[in-house]
Amino acid sequence: MRRRGCLIIVVVLLVLVTGVAYLVSRSFLLRPADAASSYQFAEVATGFARPVYLTHAGDERLFVVEQGGLIRIVENGAILEEPFLEVAALLNTSGLERGLLGMAFHPDYAENGWFFVNYTAAGSGANTVARYIRLDANHADPASAEIILSVEDRYPNHNAGQLAFGREGYLYVGMGDGGSANDPHGNGQNSGVLLGKMLRLDVDGDLPYEIPEDNPFVDDDRFRPEIWAFGLRNPWRYSLDRATGDLYIADVGQFLWEEINIQPADSPGGENYGWSVYEGNHPFSGESPPPDMVTPIAEYSHSDGCSVTGGYVYRGDTLPELQGAYFYGDWCTGVAWTTRRDESGAWQTSVFMNTGRQISSFGEDELGELYLLDHNGTVLRLERVSS
């Protein structure tokens, strides 16, 4: 009995030591209390009107998109008095989801001065992408606008609005399913329309755009050739990992589930993310799942939130222990999560912290540091809590 008792104690000790080592080796899987005590989203600038996006132009300045039609510059912690661009007169801003929704600087912006914006157009509410040209360092030329894309939209919601350039120099345009509820026109799975899709456009050639030769459906008459991926409901923020090129897409759910999808950098495109046959990992329409459907890497139910806001893979230098963690959050609860692969390749997701904010977007600066936008008017940066 005494030997057996000693053996049991040794075994228990070994299990405990092994368990501690396992947790230490995966220290990024922080419990909410740990993250909240170790990190904070610290205020950078406030006084914005409904900020919905943040990006950079290859330097230390931050460009903040306001839903009402302004792009503001933050320099050295201060908001410059004059906006970089004002397009309020061009917008339909009725409802919560319309307005100026996104922007992206061309990869050769330093030379050509081109940048692109995404908005819902006055009157019709059409989902619109336009190209503008820089006038000087802190001002764009409002007269330089060229419409690149205009897609009719019958309803005021599910406008997506993100723009991003891939490593190959093509412009990615996220399109919602057209709105209302339950995808009434079946746009998510309709290969003949642009709604409910991720588009990939060559904006370096003749206006308005050209089709990249390696888009997945250029030789398939059943599909619009602009389509890069489909089966999306409302991709509210997506991003390309600056280190790997992987594309992360946060897709807003209908009644029950919010989801995060990924497209690996070496993908030839053509992924079907399932909407509206599936919502997340769950049947929605009652139809059989498409044979090519790609399932989410993470999801959460409406018991934990209401509307997902996609973010970025952290690639900054100030918090090296968070390298490779993809951040996303919820509009209603203010909770932020992280997900990333463990050593076996499985995705591990955990609550990072409750930010207490209405998360309209995340952003990153030139150095890869992570920002959060509170729709109530504040830009914040992820930092370590000083001891």
Q: Which residues pair with 354 in a beta bridge?
A: 335
Cα(332)–Cα(42) distance, integer angstroms: 20
Range list of β-strands (E), 243-386: 247-251, 257-263, 278-279, 282-283, 298-301, 308-309, 326-330, 335-341, 347-354, 359-364, 370-374, 378-384
Average pLDDT over residues 232-255: 98
Cα(360)–Cα(306) distance, integer angstroms: 13
Does residue 1 fall inside a structural domain?
A: no
Does residue 17 fall inside a structural domain?
A: no
For residue 13, what pLDDT is reported? Answer: 35
CATH code for the domain of 265: 2.120.10.30
Does residue 29 fall inside a structural domain?
A: no
Is residue 4 predicted with pLDDT exceeding 60?
A: no
Does residue 349 fall inside a structural domain?
A: yes
Domain span at residue 48 reads: 35-384
3 state DSSP class of 246:
coil
Phi, psi of 192, deg, nearest 5: -95, 0
Average pLDDT over residues 156-173: 98
Q: How many domains does the chain have?
A: 1
User: What is the pTM assigned to this prediction?
Assistant: 0.91
Q: How do residues 27-57 score in pLDDT, each as one tens digit?
A: 334 444 467 789 999 999 999 999 999 999 9
Six-digit token pair at 343?
């050593």
For residue 62, what pLDDT is reported? Answer: 98
Does residue 345 fall inside a structural domain?
A: yes
The neighbour count for residue 363, using CB atoms within 10 Å, is 24
Confidence of residue 14 (pLDDT cuts 50, 70, 90): very low
Does residue 24 fall inside a structural domain?
A: no
Please tell me the total number of residues recorded for the chain in this structure: 387
Q: How do residues 90-115 score in pLDDT, each as one tens digit?
A: 999 999 999 999 999 999 999 999 99
Asked if omega into 83 is within 30° of 0 (cis), the reply is no
Is residue 226 predicted with pLDDT exceeding 50?
A: yes
For residue 34, what pLDDT is reported? Answer: 61
C-beta of residue 315 within 8 angstroms of C-beta of residue 242 = yes
For residue 7, what pLDDT is reported? Answer: 34
For residue 280, what pLDDT is reported? Answer: 97
For residue 264, what pLDDT is reported? Answer: 98
Is residue 16 predicted with pLDDT exceeding 80?
A: no
Is residue 19 predicted with pLDDT exceeding 80?
A: no
> What's the first-to-final CA gap in the chain, in angstroms?
49
Does residue 8 fall inside a structural domain?
A: no
Convert 16-58 into a string of H (helix), E (strand) and C (coil): HHHHHHHHHHCCCCCCHHHHHHHEEEEEEEECCCCEEEEECCC
C-beta of residue 270 within 8 angstroms of C-beta of residue 260 = no
For residue 28, what pLDDT is reported? Answer: 36
CA–CA–CA angle 318, 323, 326 (5° rounding):
120
Burial 41-65 (b: 16+ CB within 10 A, else e): beebbeebebbbbbbbbeeebbbbb
Q: How do residues 115-143 score in pLDDT, each as one tens digit?
A: 999 999 999 999 999 999 999 999 999 99
Does residue 326 fall inside a structural domain?
A: yes
Confidence of residue 23 (pLDDT cuts 50, 70, 90): very low
C-beta of residue 293 within 8 angstroms of C-beta of residue 274 = yes
